[in-house]
Structure 1
Amino acid sequence: MIRFAIGPCPIEIHFSCFALFAFCCIFTGMGGSAICFVSVLLHESAHLGAMLSLHMAPARIILSALGCRVVLNRGCHLSDWKQAIISLSGPAANWLVFLSTLILGFADSPLAMVNLALGLTHILPIEPLDGGFALRYILRSQFGEEKADSVSKGISVLFLLPLALLGFYILLRTQYNYSLLALSIYLMLYLVLGKDEAAP
């Protein structure tokens, strides 16, 4: 693990990040990996930018192969709607890049495809994706924490089952593309194990 600080905020980078980058290099080459890295960095920076715009400085930032986890200062509280805004800011940044490539005539470029994939994936109402966290916070503002968490988990399962079937179908058709199925399995494990991480 690599640790350093930017100002008062400590940052931890797990070695799984570098393992994931090496894995991407093998399958997509250095160019594709660089585009993925920049797109993910933009996504996570949008989360951080939204937090800072709401005057919420993070206490710690943890980077791993599973994404970026931002730990808030103790005693800091945000409304459910503000939490939802922070969650949706990441995919919104990816959609903005994708729409920009459409306007500029680069809709079939790797940059467009990567940001479209990130935007589509993270807008799904499945925890721990950004759309799932946003849905949970919006429901909490209307129905309270316990009921909202239960409904949010049910909606996650409802969307996850067809996603897993689609991933399995793609694997059968292509004989090699298991990325969507792997994502579905990870999300299933998250729901089954009940792991609750802070929303980005």
Structure 2
Amino acid sequence: MSHRLDGAVRVTGGFVLLSAWFALENGAAALALTLLAAAAHECGHLAALRLCGCGVRRVRIGILGAEMETERSRLRYGAELFCLLAGPGVNLLLAALLMIPARTWPGWYAAVGANLTLGAFNLLPIRPLDGGAALELLTAWRFGPAAGERAARACGALCAAALSAGLLRLIWASGGNLWLLPAAGGLAAACLKELSGWPGPRQGRRLRRSL
């Protein structure tokens, strides 16, 4: 089940349910801060793509985050890397800037945390996160596309497995904090997809990331 917006943006039912669950567990204010940080993240990517003369064909927002599809074949490696890192870069920059008012009004620390967490999480070397795509790109830039795919697959599978196991252990130690379960499941799925050779031979190049 999914909800289409303007024909170019797709929001899945899984994302709606996950957002509702987050709001019930953490409150509407926490959800609003998270969504604002995610919007800033996406605006960073979109602004970078526009600067590089590359448009977005469609956006899909699902349980694992947002996925942009764009024709990037004309982008050079440096420009493509800039577009990938623009999203987490905006979040980390906002986190640093928001520290200024947070010193006077502690309530701002929640916004700092939302942007810092989102920016750092997306830099993990796991596809479809920005860090995983950046690792693939950097390795391909130096050693070729095949080496980039192998590096991203191996590093992504190892990191995703370790983080998933760590979250499952944390769930057990915390007495069953189910809010960590979607993240653990998503990381486990990413690990299995990399180990099984997913994605297969690519027909196009896409920016794919998680919120």
TM-score (norm 2): 0.81
Residue 130 of structure 1 deviates from its aligned partner by 0.8
Residue 181 of structure 1 deviates from its aligned partner by 5.6
Residue equivalent to 1:93: 90
Structure 2 residue runs of 5 or longer lacking an equivalent are: 200-204
Give the fraction of aligned pairs with identical amino acids, expressed as a percent: 22
CA distance in 2, matches of 1:51, 1:112: 25
Residue equivalent to 1:32: 30
Bigger drift between 105-114 and 132-141 goes to 105-114
Q: How many residues align?
A: 196
Query: 1:98 aligns to what SS in structure 2?
Result: helix
CA distance in 2, matches of 1:51, 1:142: 23
CA distance in 1, matches of 2:36, 2:93: 14
CA distance in 2, matches of 1:109, 1:150: 39
CA distance in 2, matches of 1:107, 1:122: 24
Superposition map of 1:30-69 within 5 A: 30-69=28-67
Superposition map of 1:4-153 within 5 A: 4-5=5-6, 10-73=8-71, 76-104=73-101, 105=103, 106=106, 109-153=109-153
Residue 68 of structure 1 deviates from its aligned partner by 1.6
- Give the letter for the 2:127 counterpart: E
Residue 171 of structure 1 deviates from its aligned partner by 1.7
Residue 107 of structure 1 deviates from its aligned partner by 8.4
Residue equivalent to 1:163: 163
State whether residues 167 and 178 of structure 1, in contact with CA within 8 Å, keep that contact through their aligned partners in structure 2.
no
TM-score (norm 1): 0.85
State whether residues 3 and 12 of structure 1, in contact with CA within 8 Å, keep that contact through their aligned partners in structure 2.
yes
Give the superposed CA RMSD: 2.4
Query: 1:58 aligns to what SS in structure 2?
Result: coil
Residue equivalent to 1:176: 176
Bigger drift between 174-183 and 49-58 goes to 174-183
Bigger drift between 82-91 and 49-58 goes to 82-91
Greater RCO (Cα-Cα under 8 Å, separation 6 or more)? 2
CA distance in 2, matches of 1:27, 1:198: 33
Residue 20 of structure 1 deviates from its aligned partner by 1.9
CA distance in 2, matches of 1:63, 1:171: 26
- Give the letter for the 2:20 counterpart: A
CA distance in 1, matches of 2:161, 2:10: 34
User: Deviations along 1:9-35, whole A, 9 cap, x unmatched?
Assistant: 822222323212211111111111111
State whether residues 127 and 133 of structure 1, in contact with CA within 8 Å, keep that contact through their aligned partners in structure 2.
yes
Residue 91 to residue 177, structure 1, CA distance change in 2 (3 Å): farther
Residue equivalent to 2:202: none
Structure 1 residue runs of 5 or longer lacking an equivalent are: none
